[in-house]
Amino acid sequence: MKFVRIVQTVMCACVVTFGVKAQDIDLTQYVSTLQGTDSHFGLSYGNTYPITARPFAMHAWSPQTGANGEGWKYQYSKDKIQGFCQSHQCSPWVSDYAVYSFMPVVGDLTVAQDQRAQKFAHKHEVARPHYYEVTFDNGMKTEMAPTDRGVHFRFSYPGSGDAYLVIDGYTDMSEVKIDAKKRQVSGWVNNQRFVNDSKSFRSYFVVTFNQPFEDYGVWENVDNKIMPGATSGQGKGYGVYLKFKRGAKVEAKAASSYISEEQAMVTLQHELGDKRRFEDTKLEGQRVWNNLLGRVLVEGGTDEERRTFYSCLYRSNLFSRMFYEIKADGTPYYYSPYNGKIYDGRMYTDNGLWDTFRSQFPLTNILHPTMQGHYMNALLAAQEQCGWLPSWSFPGETGGMLGNHSISLITDAWAKGVRSFDPEKALKAYAHEAMNKGPWGGANGRAGWKEYWQLGYVPYPQSLGCVSQTLEYAYDDFCAYRLAKMVGNDHYATIFAKQMYNYRNLFDKETGFMRGKDENGNWVEPFDPLEWGGPYCEGDAWHYIWSVFHDVQGLIDLFGSNKRFVEKLDSVFTSSNEVHPGTYGGMIHEMKEMQLAEMGQYAHGNQPIQHMPYLYCYAGEPWKTQYWVREILRRLYNSSPKGFPGDEDQGGMSSWYVLSALGIYAVCPGTDEYVIGSPVFNKAIITMENGNKFVIEAQGNSSSNVYIKSATLNGMPLDRNYITYSEINAGGHMKFEMSNQPCTTRGITREAAPFSLSK
């Protein structure tokens, strides 16, 4: 009897706490796609929108509260929705491309975006990764369930009032065709900002309906002119309207292609074939997401922590976007946004690597190494097609931000065992990147590359952001050196070994900061560590001392001792959060976000300093990493529309949360190490692509027991402050004993520190 009761209790615990089997529990219910949507131009709580999509989907879908062309696509504070649009947006700062939208209209036909917009309340909204639903105040219900390259809509019209559907061709040229007999609408749009061959760019779409059209026509959104009965039209912002029976339940299936209308039809048949009903598409999407979210099962923590975790895990798995399509014979091919030609194979786009090399890609290497291999080949293909390695593709290369961080992705993939690309080709492509300047932005090729090679730093005032550039170039050069070393290419190893210590050239012992220098080697005066801009990109001197990802020990040596280094780390959090806008001339949102965080000069709202809390692990005081990481996780993130402490950035900030909540973080992508922090959950089970399971257990964990008292890996004592990718990938069990007191004897030796060139 006793035995049976124990078994029952255990089984109960499995169901009531957090299930062990992914299929037992619907993890999508923990995801809110509204996390971070309560943002505006002046202040970002994520600058996200409710991306409704399959993982890494080619096309995503979103409700739209903003005007066509506006970067703030969906804002939580708005009370009207004007359409449901195909979307690819990475961030409001770059707006969107290949957009067209659907809007159901009840009563009189209105086509203009501000007139057709309808009031709604958030309590009548369901926002999940695979499914979005809203019922407007007028009783009109819209549901959407996307596939990889299409969407399934269900429009449930109220019984009173005429039932219209408006399709909007957005801000640029478009063509529409209506085939009433086939209950089909097709056409293309070509709105975009960053396609390198914009002339050839078209997003072709096909939409089929399960209800007949009672009436129809074409309209254009420049003057909102209606052409009743017209079956086709081409021009700026051309769209269609359709009329259905009053009270109809209309299912619409849509798919898009950058290659042709025929391909859009192939995709429609493949992803949303004839017999498929709305519920089928919705359930399939739920299954896909549950399979992915179930790759990381967590136990313990609060309900809110689980909601935050899974909302972040969803956002970590949206970018980079599959920019390829599947032929009728099942093989992949794509339209190149770099030169407008069609190629066999896979392309990936829509990612700013400056935002994501630090966190999103190191997480992706754990979850999707096969896709990483495809992606590395896509980077090299893009380089052949446009002459440059992508740094900020959207979907063509924009050259946005700084650094040549594709090499970080490439080296990181190689270090973690991905072997499906040619490393020699990658090194050659990188060398070209590092010794040239491309036509777009500062990050294709290198701004200031000649001076960097001649002087060992980028000088001021020739280049704004020169300190940031120098530090990130040196890290990128380290990645090239390391890849060359791993594959036995002495030529490139020798070249880049000379550059990877260049961070030393900008360290000022007097002030303890990285500072700008002019071309004659003089410090830029006057120096104010609180001043943003000038030699620093989107930050101040406090944020850029730490950008020596590959040689933290070398940085400690510049400070002179662990003690001085730790004092400097401590003072980030204890100094005032004062901001001097400098060359920005006024407050930018990142400055406000740093102040709101109330963590001194620690600016988690932007990328440069996000790895800094982990640097205590290099200097013999890992308990301070444990303390601060838990503080950041607890104070700066939640699952609400105000859920991020700044721009989320294509999964970048979400991946920081996911990795850190698991108790690990990649300070130096390009090595195979993850630095140990302090896990939020009592237990996390990561299922690797190869089926191996890696368990991270934190016994006695709680919001006050954030310190690691002792640790073991597969039963053996673990004194170091890092774990390797191969240890994770092999499967195993990392176990911590947690305490409410810092353990000042564990992880304090030089051997315990993670990778540094100077270690």
Stretch that binds Ca ion, among 114-122, 181-189, 339-347, 643-651 (CB under 5 A): 643-651
Taking phi over 0 as left and psi of -120 to 50 as alpha, with beta for the rest, 512 belongs to left
Question: Of 593, 621, 647, 727, which lies in the binding site for Ca ion, with binding defined by CB under 5 A?
Answer: 647
Q: How far is the CB of 714 from Ca ion (least distance, A)?
A: 38
Stretch that binds Ca ion, among 138-146, 243-251, 644-652, 661-669 (CB under 5 A): 644-652
Closer residue to Ca ion, CB minimum distance, 609 or 686: 609
Q: How far is the CB of 376 from Ca ion (least distance, A)?
A: 24
SS3 432: helix
For residues 28 and 33, give the distance between their C-alpha atoms in angstroms, rounded to a whole number: 10
Running DSSP on this structure, what letter comes out for residue 222? T
**Contact assessment for residue 35 and residue 47, using Cβ atoms and an 8 Å cutoff:** no
Stretch that binds Ca ion, among 92-100, 229-237, 276-284, 640-648 (CB under 5 A): 640-648
Q: How far is the CB of 355 from Ca ion (least distance, A)?
A: 6
Closer residue to Ca ion, CB minimum distance, 191 or 650: 650
- Beta strand 332-335 with 342-344 is antiparallel
For residues 544 and 114, give the distance between their C-alpha atoms in angstroms, rounded to a whole number: 44
Q: How far is the CB of 39 from Ca ion (least distance, A)?
A: 13
Residue type, 10: V
Task: Look up residue 528 and give its two tokens.
Answer: 């104010």
Closer residue to Ca ion, CB minimum distance, 649 or 737: 649
Q: How far is the CB of 651 from Ca ion (least distance, A)?
A: 12
- Beta strand 507-508 with 513-514 is antiparallel
**701 in contact with Ca ion (CB under 5 A):** no
For residues 407 and 483, give the distance between their C-alpha atoms in angstroms, rounded to a whole number: 9
Stretch that binds Ca ion, among 94-102, 127-135, 392-400, 603-611 (CB under 5 A): 603-611
Q: How far is the CB of 608 from Ca ion (least distance, A)?
A: 9
**606 in contact with Ca ion (CB under 5 A):** yes
Task: Look up residue 39 and give its two tokens.
Answer: 């943002």
| Among 244, 255, 86, residue whose Cα is nearest residue 180 | 244
Closer residue to Ca ion, CB minimum distance, 90 or 250: 90
Stretch that binds Ca ion, among 248-256, 290-298, 505-513, 598-606 (CB under 5 A): 598-606
Task: Look up residue 553 and give its two tokens.
Answer: 């020990």
For residues 655 and 312, give the distance between their C-alpha atoms in angstroms, rounded to a whole number: 7
For residues 420 and 368, give the distance between their C-alpha atoms in angstroms, rounded to a whole number: 13
Closer residue to Ca ion, CB minimum distance, 451 or 590: 590
**How many CB atoms are closer than 10 A to CB 490?**
10
For residues 756 and 668, give the distance between their C-alpha atoms in angstroms, rounded to a whole number: 9
Residue with tokens 């490393």: 423
Closer residue to Ca ion, CB minimum distance, 294 or 652: 652
**531 in contact with Ca ion (CB under 5 A):** no
For residues 232 and 230, give the distance between their C-alpha atoms in angstroms, rounded to a whole number: 6
Residues 275-334 that bind Ca ion (CB under 5 A): none
Closer residue to Ca ion, CB minimum distance, 590 or 727: 590
Q: How far is the CB of 606 from Ca ion (least distance, A)?
A: 4
Q: How far is the CB of 44 from Ca ion (least distance, A)?
A: 9
x-or-dash string of contact with Ca ion, 402-441, rule CB under 5 A: ----------------------------------------
**Contact assessment for residue 399 and residue 438, using Cβ atoms and an 8 Å cutoff:** yes
Closer residue to Ca ion, CB minimum distance, 271 or 649: 649
Q: How far is the CB of 647 from Ca ion (least distance, A)?
A: 4
**Contact assessment for residue 409 and residue 375, using Cβ atoms and an 8 Å cutoff:** yes
Closer residue to Ca ion, CB minimum distance, 537 or 711: 537
Closer residue to Ca ion, CB minimum distance, 338 or 656: 656
| Among 317, 362, 348, residue whose Cα is nearest residue 670 | 362
Q: How far is the CB of 548 from Ca ion (least distance, A)?
A: 20
Following DSSP, what letter does each residue of 80-123 receive, concatenated?
EE-EEEEE--S-GGG--SS--EEEEEESS---SHHHH-EEEEEE
* H/E segment holding residue 694: strand 693-699
Q: How far is the CB of 353 from Ca ion (least distance, A)?
A: 12
Stretch that binds Ca ion, among 53-61, 143-151, 360-368, 642-650 (CB under 5 A): 642-650
Stretch that binds Ca ion, among 125-133, 363-371, 555-563, 600-608 (CB under 5 A): 600-608
Q: How far is the CB of 402 from Ca ion (least distance, A)?
A: 12
Closer residue to Ca ion, CB minimum distance, 19 or 441: 441
SS3 343: strand
Q: How far is the CB of 602 from Ca ion (least distance, A)?
A: 15
x-or-dash string of contact with Ca ion, 651-690, rule CB under 5 A: ----------------------------------------
Closer residue to Ca ion, CB minimum distance, 305 or 649: 649
The alpha-carbon radius of gyration of the chain (Å, integer) is: 26
Stretch that binds Ca ion, among 43-51, 107-115, 260-268, 599-607 (CB under 5 A): 599-607
For residues 565 and 621, give the distance between their C-alpha atoms in angstroms, rounded to a whole number: 11
- What residues pair up with 699 in beta bridges, in sequence order? 737
Name the site residues for Ca ion (rule: CB under 5 A). Answer: 606, 647, 649
